[in-house]
Amino acid sequence: MVQIISILVLAYLLGSIPSGLIIGRVFYNTDIREHGSGNLGGTNTFRTLGVKAGLVVTSADILKGTLATALPLILSVHLHPLIPGVLAVLGHTYPIFASFRGGKAVATSGGVILCYAPFLFATLILAFFISLYITKYVSLSSMVAALVAVIYVIISGIISKWDFPLLIVIILLASFVVYRHRANIKRIMSKTEPKIKWL
């Protein structure tokens, strides 16, 4: 029980590492929370600090989810890997190291899926970039990928075998991603949401 609690706490703390805040302050002398959307995730980093910083932050945020999900295997503890993965997503969204003001759960959720279901992760990356190419909205593409994840897991269950822990977690994460983007949804509807210009 002590090991399980330790893993859950560690997973949350891993998720709480504010990649965007660290990169912004250390290398750019900038607090990205004071710019753009005020968000600590990869998208605001891209907009505020540029492509290089955005790629580093997004990669780090994905890695947090992947590492947290892998903790039970690394430490040989009998615990479903998706549980610490979810804790990492909560840590990323409500980080103790950044006044509980974090990202929107997309990259770290992706990291959880990368560790647990790599083919699903690849499918979501494809869905994200197809949507991004068509719409030019990062936020909408994130939500499209979340919806595709739900559909994918349901279809996989019907065709082959149900993975109920994955189904539950995917539905929770997808719902959370949409909830975190509620302000973006309003801006998309009012046509005030920023579009990318590089794709």
User: How does pLDDT run across 126-151, given as a tens digit for each residue?
Assistant: 999 999 999 999 999 999 999 999 99
Q: Is the dihedral of CA 145, 178, 54, 114 positive or negative?
A: negative
Q: What is the pTM of this model?
A: 0.93
Tokens of 121: 């992760």
Half-sphere exposure of 40 (CA within 13 A, CB side): 27
- Predicted local distance difference test score (pLDDT) of residue 57: 94
Output DSSP code: residue 32: G
What angle, rounded to 10 degrees, do the helices at 51-74 and 42-49 form? 150
Is the pLDDT at 198 greater than 80, yes or no? no
Domain limits of the chain? Answer: 2-189
Q: What number is the average pLDDT over the span 77-90?
A: 96
Band (pLDDT 50/70/90 cuts) for residue 40 is confident
Is the pLDDT at 42 greater than 90, yes or no? no
CB neighbours of 63 closer than 8 A, spacing ≥ 6? 111
Tokens 């995917």 belong to 170
